[in-house]
Chain A
Amino acid sequence: MSSETTTGATGSARPDVERLHVAGLHAASDAVLSVRDLNVRFNSENGVVHAVRGVDFDLMPGKTLGIVGESGSGKSVTSLAIMGLLPPTAEVTGSVRLKGRELLGLSDKAMCEFRGNDLAMVFQDPLSSLTPVFTVGTQIMEALTIHHPAMSRTAKEARAVELLAMVGIPSPKDRLKAFPHEFSGGMRQRVMIAIAIANNPRVLIADEPTTALDVTIQAQVLEVLHTAQEETGAAVVMITHDLGVVAGMADDIMVMYAGKPVETGAVDDIYYNPRMPYTMGLLGAVPRVDAAEKSSLVPIEGMPPNLIHTPTGCSFAPRCPLASDACLDGEPPLAPVAGGALHRAACIKSESLGGTVDVHDVFTAPPVPLSRFDAIPRAERSTVLQLKDVRKHFPLTRGALIKRRIGTVKAVDGLSFDIREGECFSIVGESGSGKTTTLLEIMEFHPDQDGEVVIGGLSNKQAADAKTKGRMRRELQMVFQDPTGALDPRFTVYEVLAEPLQNAGMDRAAIRKRIMELMRLVGLQPDHVNRFPNQFSGGQRQRIGIARALAVNPKLVVLDEPVSALDVSVQAGVINLLDHLRAELGLSYLLVAHDLSVVRHISNRVAVMYLGKIVEIGAVDRVFDNPRHPYTRALLSAIPVPDPQLERTRERIILQGDLPSPLQAPKGCNFATRCPVFAALPPGKQEKCLTLEPPLEPAASATDQQFACFFPDGEMDEDMLVVHEPADHVAP
């Protein structure tokens, strides 16, 4: 089929008329949503913030446009401007036409006719986007009542049940009466989608719909969006910062930077033939879960510009390694690029960037750091951390007056692993799998714990006195997920870094010297020590957090989701820094992350956790290239890859539902309730999974890989596998 979306043609022959639409000379009569020269300005105390600066696009019926950009790029503001949901103080100019009708300038009341009817939206945070005091059914039916006041109550109820079933909520009839807090995040996002598609919208805008969710749940929700699009035939605007999420879904991509589209085109053009250094940088900054080859990520230095001042040159020039004086002379317009029919880029050098230019030629990625430990076989290195059968069980009680114990939450259930010198060991799993509890148990380091934790030769069983504990604290330090929360807002950087040093009993001069050293080590300017954390960007704050952890020269650093709160381009810099520090200082890391791409990039060994147990453990390349446990396979298949062709043809395992509650955990294999292999097994074999607990056993004699599954090579249940028809997406 020929792509009807104007910016997204891969076909060669296109009618002239359509090309004119693209140029904005014609109003596209067949576009369902057509945006021209959209500008949004906010008045702030500091001046006028020009948040969106001239966005144009046409969206054809049934097609998907992906808008990609980092935080502050104006992508969410664009979507809210289209919906008319910006605060009245925002000044919106340009044109937004829905099925030919101009929407800009309509009153709030007049917009109500379109919102939730032809034009619907799904928001980012499902936890706060539903009204907590109304049932889910009420909220879905409200959407119906507004646009179909004549509809009978029974008809509305029937439709609501139908919608909940469509978005994959089990026993929809009963769930109508449930309140939002009784649903998990993923389930709430499904409800949000159900509300959005209630009136068969022509355009569905999804603003980071999966950002707050686990990968497995993200895969489910993306699948639901796909179904919703098929059922309603709606065109979708998908807004995201994750290039992987849109790769398989979108027909066209628009990359935004500093409020402006800087590159637009068909999805393949953007991913395989980017012509704007920013796009190239974004693609190069993302680690790939499917690539074993070790190369440094390309960091994009600097920060996005402040939108109060009109840029006089290319807005990306201050961060662009290719920038020359010509780039500072006026902002480059979005100009057609030779090769792709509708591929346009806002870069004066776009012509020279085509074809064979690799991202590494443009951005200088640091060399892959080599650690002195890399050459030594693992078995010969000393152990820095060892866990032996560590358990953490919480009683689950119910009852107000007299507490009854109704079960046990086995947050961590018999965990054993070790970390050697110079090694990065990662723990992955969904939220609720016990990753964080494991870290807390290690940091707790108390003799009363169930199981033994040995840190640098010191065991928790003998940690009774403060002295041993103090010694252990010098071996082990932690970097937190949220760099803002981890730094006391009332401390200057100097005070933040001095705290562990003072605690170690260093004198004033030594502390000062060490702080300057640390600042340089993590790539911050030493003269910034007197600033407060809020004067730094997120990436810089995380560097301060790392510097603090390194202050006392620990052997092992625990990293709790160290980059998940950061923007993609900043992430790369922090990951490279961590990699570099590990090699230079001979550190070991214990990393907890939900992003398997980051894990693959940085770690040597990995453990996959499910409900407090390790289900698979081993060398990262072994586990990721040849996963044996069905859960590992499902996790890996759920990660979107920034490669459109691969995404379209990839077979995906969609796990059903959420993590089971501890009360529903089966006797045998924990994973049986969601296992795609289990579902396909004959009942006789299923019995084994349900009654016996599979032990962690080596895959083959000589390899570093263990897993806990009785039927690792079993067939997967058809219902849980999804392959989208390639013909659906690829132009003829």
Chain B
Amino acid sequence: MTYLNAVDPAAVAQDAHLESVDVVIGKNTIIFRRFLRNKTAVAGLAIFLALTVFSFIGGFFTEWDKETIDPFNIGMPPSADHYLGTSQAGIDLYAMTVEGTRISILIGLVVGLVSVLVAAVYGCTMAYFGGKVDKGMLFILEALIMMPALLVVAVATSGGGAGLKRDLPSWLLLIIVLLVFSWMGTARLIRSMSMSLMQRDFVKAAQYMGVPPRRIVWRHLVPNIGSLLILDITRGVTAAILAEVAFSFIGIGIKVPDVSLGVLIGQATSQVQTFPWMFWVPLTVMFLLTGSLAMMNDGLRDAFDPSSSSTGKAKKAKARKIHAEKKTA
């Protein structure tokens, strides 16, 4: 998405004086402005950033950590000493929530970003080569979709003899397994979108100019599916966070001693009547996380929507017209 700014800077500078009357706004700028105009989206972004910051520096505001047991406060409700109370083992909930949020965000971001990247490469390759390559790759893809991800997660994270399990922390293992099963839908979408782009005249024009295929993919295909990729990243992050919580909740995802929001929520279910804060606090954080992502996703979709972007352009055209009229008058 940065290529738009890759215009020869010298040429831009030289043109600057010509453009003073009629400022051409780059597409990225337009999208950025439209995103900023969407209040919900900005609020979503703010909440998400705040949570991320909180998960990194929140630990400094308390002297407790996720492992230290406070023998004098076991199963206590929130107090000045323990902001969010303690578990029945005497561990500070605030410290655990900070840690759990960080792990959840980490899982979400890594899975969201990497799976979209894998999907983009896989999807574009299918669309570009077509024919037998496409058929074969599509078969693998559908077979993976058919595979119930949950079983594989369970096998991978709980297998008695799995060598992997001993060497890797459970959150990393979960990331790997989630990655394997999260990119197929996006890859299929990217494939069909790239295929229709390949049929577009501007791609044909580049081909007929003799532009090499790799450059066509990079300069024409990737930027034109860019908005889809960004939307899929936010969607993928949400899905990964939800998946982590769901798996850990029933006890097959992240395993203690690692902490995540899902683990915290899952552990608290048995005592929701007696220690309600143990359940509701991590659940609220999870809602804030997934909710803020959903709000951002919504705002981004609006900002990318070409049909609504046309009104913005019309406004500009109108402004220019008025300007021109003033000049002639």
Contact of A503 with B209 at beta-carbon distance under 8 Å, contacts A488-B220, A488-B224, A512-B8 already known: yes
Say yes or no for A409: interface residue by CB 8 A criterion: no
Q: Which secondary structure characterizes the binding site on chain B?
A: helix
Binds A, one of B10-18, B92-100, B185-193, B267-275: B10-18
A486/B318 in contact, CB under 8 A: no
A499/B209 in contact, CB under 8 A: yes
Binds A, one of B48-56, B157-165, B197-205, B228-236: B197-205
Select one of A47, A490, A512, A534 contacting B313, CB under 8 A: A534
Contact of A530 with B313 at beta-carbon distance under 8 Å, contacts A490-B27, A499-B211, A503-B209 already known: no
B205/A46 in contact, CB under 8 A: no
Binds B, one of A152-160, A194-202, A472-480: A472-480
Chain B residues within 8 Å of A47, by CB: 318
Which B residues contact A (CB, under 8 angstroms)?
3-4, 7-8, 10-12, 14-15, 18-19, 24, 27, 200-202, 204-206, 208-211, 219-220, 223-224, 310-311, 313-318, 321
Which A residues contact B (CB, under 8 angstroms)?
44-47, 306, 308, 443, 469-470, 473-474, 477-478, 480-482, 485-492, 494-495, 498-500, 503, 508, 511-512, 527, 529-532, 534-535, 545, 548, 552
Query: Which residue of B18, B202, B310, B314 has the most chain A CB atoms within 10 A of its CB atom?
Result: B202
Contact of A473 with B7 at beta-carbon distance under 8 Å, contacts A45-B314, A480-B201, A535-B317 already known: no
Chain B residues within 8 Å of A500, by CB: 209, 211
Given A47-B318, A488-B220, A530-B12, 10 additional A-B pairs, CB 8 A: A306-B318, A473-B209, A473-B210, A474-B210, A480-B205, A485-B200, A499-B206, A503-B211, A532-B27, A534-B313
- A529–B16 CA distance with the chains assembled, in angstroms: 11
B206 to chain A, nearest CB (A): 7
8 A-B pairs with C-beta separation under 8 A: A308-B318, A480-B205, A481-B201, A486-B201, A492-B7, A503-B209, A512-B14, A545-B205
- A470–B314 CA distance with the chains assembled, in angstroms: 40
- A498–B19 CA distance with the chains assembled, in angstroms: 19
A530/B211 in contact, CB under 8 A: no
A477/B208 in contact, CB under 8 A: yes
A530/B19 in contact, CB under 8 A: yes
Chain A residues within 8 Å of B206, by CB: 499
- A527–B19 CA distance with the chains assembled, in angstroms: 7
Chain B residues within 8 Å of A308, by CB: 318
- A491–B318 CA distance with the chains assembled, in angstroms: 22
Residue of B nearest to A511 (CB): B8
Residue of B nearest to A471 (CB): B210
Task: Report the number of A-B residue pairs with Cβ-Cβ less than 8 Å.
Answer: 97
Residue of B nearest to A47 (CB): B318
Chain B residues within 8 Å of A508, by CB: 8, 10-11
Select one of A45, A477, A480, A489 contacting B209, CB under 8 A: A477
- A500–B318 CA distance with the chains assembled, in angstroms: 33
B209/A532 in contact, CB under 8 A: no
- Give the top 9 A-B pairs by smallest Cβ distance, nearest first: A527-B18, A473-B210, A486-B201, A485-B201, A488-B202, A480-B201, A500-B209, A45-B311, A530-B24
Chain A residues within 8 Å of B27, by CB: 490, 532
Residue of B nearest to A552 (CB): B209
Chain A residues within 8 Å of B204, by CB: 478, 480, 486
B15/A473 in contact, CB under 8 A: no
A490/B205 in contact, CB under 8 A: no
A478/B7 in contact, CB under 8 A: no
Select one of B15, B211, B220, B314 contacting A527, CB under 8 A: B15
B208/A443 in contact, CB under 8 A: yes
Chain B residues within 8 Å of A530, by CB: 7, 12, 15, 19, 24
- A45–B309 CA distance with the chains assembled, in angstroms: 12
B7/A490 in contact, CB under 8 A: no
- A592–B24 CA distance with the chains assembled, in angstroms: 35
B210/A469 in contact, CB under 8 A: yes
- A531–B11 CA distance with the chains assembled, in angstroms: 13
Chain A residues within 8 Å of B314, by CB: 44-46
Chain B residues within 8 Å of A470, by CB: 210
Select one of A46, A443, A548 contacting B315, CB under 8 A: A46
Chain A residues within 8 Å of B317, by CB: 306, 535
Select one of A46, A480, A527, A552 contacting B311, CB under 8 A: A46
